[in-house]
Amino acid sequence: MGTAKAVDAAQPLVFAILANLTPPDIEIQLFDDRIENILFDVETDLAVITIGAFTAMRAYQIAKEYKKRNVHVIMGGAHATLASQEVSNHADSVVIGDAELIWPEIICDLLKNQLKPFYKSSALTSIFSTTFNRSVFDNKKYLPINIVQWGRGCTKSCDFCSVNAFYGEKQFHRPINEVVVEIETLNNNLIFFADDNLLYNNAKTKEFLTNLSKLNIKYSCQISIDVANDEELVKLLAKSGCAVVLVGFESLNAANLKQMNKKWSSVQKYEKAVQLFRDYGIMVYGTFVFGYDGDSLDSFKYTLDFTLKNKLLLANFNPLTPIPGTNLYTRLIKEKRMIYDKWWLAPDYMYGKATFYPKNISPDELAEGCFMARKKFNTFKNIFNRCLDKKANANSLTNLKIFLIGNYVSRSAIYNKQWSLLSKS
């Protein structure tokens, strides 16, 4: 069941959390299907699988292999929460919500051989504490970067977002000192904050960044564009070691932004925001989605032109993909516009293909337009031109190193993933 392994895989933090909560007398072993073959015949009592929409079909294949060996299968993660009844057809137990809050009960039931079909976790408190056992990542070929998390959730309400479907318009945070102490124990000062949005509110985020500024780290993070409304906050991002911000621009069409409920974004302010980040030596990784009702064939070209003109570090050009549980998915089902009601289970669905009928372009035009933009952004000529940016991409040796590695990984991933099936043969 092997296939090409991912070159862009990062540490799956959830398993470090669960490993830390598992009693030391219980033996654990992590297999990451993205980077290695699963040794199904290793004797075990329980297989724990995290599942998202894009990995659902493969997760069900893995579960089937374990069930052949009479191993109890538990599934958790976003898809298990948002499509729990479907997942229960393939797993013996399904975890709904954040697994660590219910994990001690699961372990207790496992030891009594009384695992339940569903476990519904209680909601996180606004301030929550968690620690990690990162030894499960030893000797695995992940990106050379530590994954750290200050908070979960996002107060925004984009209609396509599974984070909003999972948490609602809420954010939850670990104590700042707990995160600082954790970072001080890491042997690599290159960090990615896995927060869905590092911007909580300006005052609390400034407090967090002030503490980071004492640690001599370099990091990247996901953050909403409205951070650029506060130059002092951007300045503090740079001072605290931020080298890259991942920003979901999503669209350069104001009508699209309104349709996706991204009301805090303003297309007119995008370029100014990018320039502000670059003025402080921060590289910008932009993400864009296509397929909303305001998109046409011209959308791909003028979005590509924007990314090249503004010398983005990286850019993703993705066909809009409705995730179950989101408002977008519900709307498109109601409008009878889905090509596959459950695209994640369609045996002929391939990565990069359209999953629904856009208003002004065909599904094939949507898929090909995104692929074209990805390829053109990542030509050697365009990578070289963006590399010459001394404001941000080549602002320092560290930035240049991140730029070169990031573009190598991004270019490789395009051709590894495009038109690939979600399942494995």
Is residue 7 predicted with pLDDT exceeding 80?
A: no
Is residue 59 predicted with pLDDT exceeding 80?
A: yes
Gyration radius from the chain CA atoms: 21
- Say what the pLDDT of residue 413 is: 85
Higher-pLDDT residue of 373 and 265 is: 373
Compute the average pLDDT of residues 289-318: 97
Order of strands across the sheet that contains 46-50:
46-50, 72-76, 93-96, 118-120
Instruction: State pLDDT tens for residues 376-412.
Output: 999 999 999 999 999 999 999 999 999 999 999 899 8
Alpha-carbon distances of 214 from 67, 207, 208, 242, 401, rounded to whole Å? 50, 12, 11, 13, 23
Instruction: State pLDDT tens for residues 269-287.
Output: 999 999 999 999 999 999 9
Amino acid in position 364: D
Higher-pLDDT residue of 266 and 337 is: 337
Instruction: State pLDDT tens for residues 177-234.
Output: 999 999 999 988 899 999 999 998 889 999 999 999 999 999 999 999 999 999 999 9
Is residue 327 predicted with pLDDT exceeding 90?
A: yes
d(CA 403, CA 400): 5
pTM of the predicted model as reported, rounded to 2 decimal places: 0.93
- Say what the pLDDT of residue 265 is: 79
Compute the average pLDDT of residues 242-249: 97
Work out the pLDDT band at 1, boundaries 50, 70, 90. very low
The length of the chain is 425
Compute the average pLDDT of residues 126-147: 92
Domains of the chain with bracketed CATH:
13-120 (3.40.50.280), 144-417 (3.80.30.20)
d(CA 257, CA 277): 22
Alpha-carbon distances of 169 from 157, 184, 197, 286, 400, rounded to whole Å? 6, 31, 12, 23, 36
Is residue 420 predicted with pLDDT exceeding 60?
A: yes
Is residue 99 predicted with pLDDT exceeding 80?
A: yes
Q: In percent, how much of the chain has pLDDT > 90?
A: 88
Compute the average pLDDT of residues 289-296: 97
- Say what the pLDDT of residue 189 is: 86
d(CA 289, CA 300): 10
- Say what the pLDDT of residue 126 is: 86
DSSP readout, 172-233?
EE--HHHHHHHHHH-S--EEEE--S-S-S-HHHHHHHHHHHTTS--EEEEE--GGGGG-HHH
Instruction: State pLDDT tens for residues 120-129.
Output: 998 888 889 9
- Say what the pLDDT of residue 52 is: 96
- Say what the pLDDT of residue 2 is: 40
Compute the average pLDDT of residues 162-176: 93
Compute the average pLDDT of residues 73-86: 97
Q: In percent, how much of the chain has pLDDT > 70?
A: 98
Compute the average pLDDT of residues 26-35: 95
- Say what the pLDDT of residue 117 is: 97
CB 182 within 8 A of CB 175: no
- Say what the pLDDT of residue 425 is: 56
- Say what the pLDDT of residue 4 is: 55
Least trusted range by pLDDT, from 50-54, 154-158, 227-231: 154-158
Instruction: State pLDDT tens for residues 63-79.
Output: 999 999 999 999 999 99
